[in-house]
Chain A
Amino acid sequence: MASQLGPETAPTAGRTAEYWAFQVDGVTKRFGALAANDNITLRVEPGEVYGLLGPNGAGKSTLVKQAIGLMMPTSGRIMLGSFDLVADPDAARQLCSYLPQAPMPIEAFKAREAIELAGRIRGGDRHEVRARTEDLIEALDLGEWRNALGAKLSGGVKRLVGFCMAAVRPGRLVILDEPTNDVDPLRRRLLWEQIRDLGAMGCSVLLVTHNVLEAEKSVDRLAVLFGGRIVAEGTPSSLKAADRSHLRLHIMLAPGTETPPLPVWAAAPTRVGHNLITTIAEDEAAAGIEWAKTLIDQGVAEEYALGATTLEDAYIRLTSHLSEDVDEEGPTK
């Protein structure tokens, strides 16, 4: 790719797809006695959308802040292609695009202007940036807010503009921290298409989320972080393998009730708030429904749902947490 701007440091060994892999090798980050990241090793290939899942405090944001040069690992290496991102934070900032979880500082910017300026700051050519900005605005159906000030945008639209700022001139690694927060369902779908497109362009995409259900449909591989460690890694299918031939039984308990004793055929349950979730063998479906109805009749439960197991069940098993979409809403029959 031709340089637009002065001398550059470019890899000399050729830019094969494998060359630009993002590699985290034995990274530990300690704050005093607390290990926010504990010996984390992972690799994201170019073109891959890699999910980083975990509950709040699992160490996801700490890890990405080390990749982008905002934090220094206590030990370990972070590489992007041949670039050591820990030793060269300037290269980290230039080669990685970043959408942080916090709101973007675009109150005084028009949406289109913020995206274009972000692209220019990332070294993009003026005409290319302008064309790409228009493409993104169209693709995410943001046309009606093109010239609106950031201060007047809703949280979801602002989030999408933030995504465009990261994607207008993407780095080799694109880090998206909770990109779908506050975004309406229709545009969430459009956003996922754009995230997949980043992969198709050859970017490695590191997607931080605690929305397991969305991640299941959208990532190629994922790691589940819990307590600063990777407790599982693989494709969504491989992580669900342990739950094959099982169903998920989700019971919304009545407020103020104790967790009822579970039948022997139910797996160890997870309770978060009023949600009680367990898995049962497909053969036990009828018994499961009967048991749930009994709980409702006794006033212990208010409703229940029985369905196919999802990545959520693997996530619950690994972290004892529900993903954000289930926490508040409870089950859907």
Chain B
Amino acid sequence: MTAVPSSIVRHGLRRSWHDYASMLRWHLASLRIWMALVAIVQVLSGVGLVLGIALFFRRIPASAALYVSTGVPVINLVMIGLILGPQLVANEKTAGSYDYLRAMPVSRSVNAAAWYTVCLVNGVPAMVVSLGVASLRYSLALHVTAMLVPAVLLTALSATMLGYAIAHAISNAMVTAMVAQVLVFVVFGFSPILFPITQMPRWLGTLNWWFPFRHMAVVTRAALTPGPHPGLTTSYAVLGAWSVLCAALAGRALGRRL
């Protein structure tokens, strides 16, 4: 057949939907040889955390078990967002294929939305498994509410957009990977996700108020445990602000022309 050169500059919702579906296929296909491995690592790390932290105690206190059980799902979502995106983009930069991806005729925001979906697809199953194992291991009666849906969506969104911004805003592949690793270190060691903020020095607790990780734990835990949950609205607002900020940063970086 004879092709005809494309003379159309597409706009509007139908273009966005088409771009979203196409880029979702692109991202999923790009990951296909890694998908199973990523899922296994995600499940193992989540379950490993759930079971491993109990070893710190002769008999784990109920409050610690609850914190771990409701914190590990957050860790699952954060790890996917902070590691997978920056690692893949760093690989593309190193291989030289980054220019082709930047030259794709799709809108930046829709591309980011497709990537977010991929992170959800990769992160949520591991999150569910971690939660299930935690419930069995610690005999918890979790109080799962419908608010788990927005909590997970927003937690994954802010983590994914943070990773996306790091991936695209930092031009050097090595620096991208290092910053992502430092953030992972911060998440594990210095963010009140797996333990209460009251156990941190006051200044570190205050500092954490400005970062998204503590708020991810607050909204997720609120959807899994009975209330009251003071500051919940604020946490949603902070996470929303971080998501918008990081998405804007990533979009700006992707569209940056040297």
A: residues with CB less than 8 A from B are 1, 3-11, 15, 20, 65, 68-72, 83, 88-91, 93-96, 98, 100-105, 107-109, 113, 117, 120-124, 128, 131-132, 135, 149, 151, 167-172, 174, 201-203
Contact = CB atoms under 8 A, between A and B. Distances in A.
Contacts of A174: 5
Contacts of B56: none
Interface of B: 1-15, 18-19, 22-23, 25-26, 29-34, 92, 95-97, 99-107, 255, 257-258
Contacts of A113: 29
B31, B96, B100: residue with the most chain A Cβ atoms closer than 10 Å? B100
Contacts of A98: 100, 103
A68 B3 CA distance: 21
A65 B257 CA distance: 9
Nearest to A20: B7
A171 B6 CA distance: 5
Contacts of A151: 33
Contacts of B257: 69-72, 89
Nearest to A65: B99
A95, A109, A123: residue with the most chain B Cβ atoms closer than 10 Å? A123
B9, B29, B33: residue with the most chain A Cβ atoms closer than 10 Å? B9
A94 B9 contact: yes
Given A68-B103, A131-B1, A108 B32 contact: yes
A78 B29 CA distance: 35
Given A5-B15, A8-B8, A108-B31, A121 B3 contact: no
B258 A121 contact: no
Contact of B11 (A4, A6, A20, A71): A6
Contacts of A203: 5
15 contacts: A1-B8, A7-B11, A8-B10, A70-B99, A88-B9, A100-B97, A102-B100, A105-B30, A105-B95, A117-B29, A123-B10, A128-B1, A151-B33, A170-B3, A202-B5
B29 A5 contact: no
Contacts of A131: 1
Contacts of A168: 3
Given A93-B104, A121-B105, A201 B18 contact: no
Contact of A123 (B8, B31, B101): B8
Contact of A93 (B15, B22, B105): B105
Contacts of A167: 3
Contacts of A7: 10-12, 14-15
Contacts of B99: 65, 70, 100, 102
Nearest to B100: A100
Contacts of A122: 6, 105
A132 B5 CA distance: 12
Given A94-B8, A108-B31, A132 B92 contact: no
Contacts of B29: 108-109, 113, 117
Nearest to B108: A90
Contacts of A6: 10-15, 18
B19 A121 contact: yes
A176 B14 CA distance: 29
A172 B11 contact: no
B5 A123 contact: no
